[in-house]
Amino acid sequence: MSIDLGKLEVTFCGHATFAIKTPGGKHVIVDPFLSGNPACPDHLKQPKSLDAIFLTHGHGDHLGDTVALAKKFDATCATIIELGAWLSKQGVKNVVGFNKGGSTDVAGVHLTMTHAVHSSGVQDGDGMWYGGEAAGFIMRFENGVKIYHAGDTCVFSDMKLIGEIYKPDIAMLPIGDFYTMGPDEGAYAIRLLGVKTIIPMHYATFPALTGTPAKLRELTKDVAGLEIVEVKPGETLTGQMRRLAPV
């Protein structure tokens, strides 16, 4: 395995949710869909500490526990500006509302917002709040490791630019189909990005999400050096992509 995460710890909480311990010891969650997430192991549903939340868009299966967790831990929420406005309206104090192509430093992570092709409304009572556009993130950690979390998206040709500009070491890609791309488009995304280490996400959580890592593997078997790392909910990756057993 070629990627060395060093002290970085990446725990898959199921669906598109990742709990990350940075090399600097900060705790970050991308899309904290925890309490309502049928794929999330119980022991991960109540984080013990949290410094920051990176939120790709406003759909319930990503927004999840953002408001409650941000208030409980006084965590910083980094997201697109319109969704940030909604979070502020809910009483979240530390909101970093930025936009695509922009970067900011949060919890020691150099965070860049990328494009994603998807929608982003926030269910707010009986209505829907305009959540801006759905996004993805490039996270560059203190030890130089770069991870691309694509958010919810279909394949788009600018993934080639994301690959060329940011050269991520790892790409977390949705492959479940129905709400996002499935394995067919995912295989194309892998070719556009040129990233060799892929963590599939956003599959199997609900019956509609039928795409599988096996199908993605079959469709990319001609891609030299590609490694599709299937992480089970509760598993943590660290060091040389070593798996720490679920706690």
Which tokens go with 229?
């790392």
**Which of Ni ion, Mn ion, none lies near 21, with the C-beta cut-off 5 to 8 A by kind?**
none
**Closest distance to Mn ion from the beta carbon of 61 (Å):** 4
- How far apart (Å, rounded) are the C-alpha atoms in residues 184 and 136? 20
Binding mask 56-75 for Mn ion (x = CB under 5 A): -----x--------------
Binding mask 180-219 for Ni ion (x = CB under 5 A): ----------------------------------------
22-41: which residues touch Ni ion (CB under 5 A)?
none
Q: By CB under 5 A, how many residues form the interface with Mn ion?
A: 2
Which tokens go with 45?
């549903």
Find the part of the chain contacting Ni ion (CB under 5 A) among 1-9, 72-80, 93-101, 149-157: 149-157
Contacts of 127 (CB under 8 A, 6+ apart): none
**Which of Mn ion, Ni ion, none lies near 65, with the C-beta cut-off 5 to 8 A by kind?**
none
- How far apart (Å, rounded) are the C-alpha atoms in residues 167 and 171? 10
DSSP string, 128-186: EEE----EEEEEE-TTS-EEEE--S----TTHHHHHHHH--SEEEEE---SSS--HHHH
* Closest C-alpha to 177, from 203, 155, 213: 203
Binding mask 54-83 for Ni ion (x = CB under 5 A): -----x------------------------
- How far apart (Å, rounded) are the C-alpha atoms in residues 182 and 170? 18
Indicate which single residue of 65, 133, 152, 169 sits in contact with Ni ion (rule: CB under 5 A).
152
Give the footprint of Mn ion on this chain (CB under 5 A).
Answer: 61, 152
Give the footprint of Ni ion on this chain (CB under 5 A).
Answer: 59, 152
